[in-house]
Amino acid sequence: MPPRQLFDLSSIDTDTIIADREEIYRHLPHRYEFMQLDGIYLCDTEAGTMAAYRDVRADEFWVRGHIPGRPIFPGVLMIESAAHLVSYYVGHAIELDGFLGFSGVTDVKFRATVQPGQRVTFLGKVLDLRKRRCKAQVQAFVDDKFVFEGIITGMWV
């Protein structure tokens, strides 16, 4: 049985986007194929919660080769997308030069597949935040379907 949602998906105002793709990547160094998020819904530094979305498109670089005839969004890109959310959050919670880069990922489980044409909603909850490191629990959903979970640890790069 999957764990409980970090917070209720229905509590997210999906009509209000606090940062679009351009704003997200003004703060993160990723470019081209590695711009993984399309918008941020929530970045609550007091509660330690965050939410974002990614529209999985049929024209992405991996579609042709990641299961021809039945493209499946790669798990590693789900992890990368969630890491971008955590990095964006930390950039707003702590004012430091640089960005939060991967230093670890644990307890990852993929619970369902994601195909082009679907919107993935990522949730995050900070477990530990220090000046040099952040650990956050992350989850992803398509509609109300649980597709991914894990714990991401990052350090300032």
Is 66 an annotated catalytic residue?
A: yes
Radius of gyration, alpha carbons of the chain: 15
Catalytic residue among 27, 30, 66, 92: 66
Interatomic CA distance for residues 88 and 95, integer angstroms:
12
The DSSP annotation for 75-138 comes to HHHHHHHHHHHHHHHHHHHS--SS-EEEEEEEEEEE-S---TTPEEEEEEEEEEE-SSEEEEEE
d(CA 7, CA 50): 10
CA–CA gap between residue 122 and residue 38 (Å, rounded): 11
- Classify 40 as helix, strand or coil: strand
Among all residues, which ones are annotated catalytic?
66
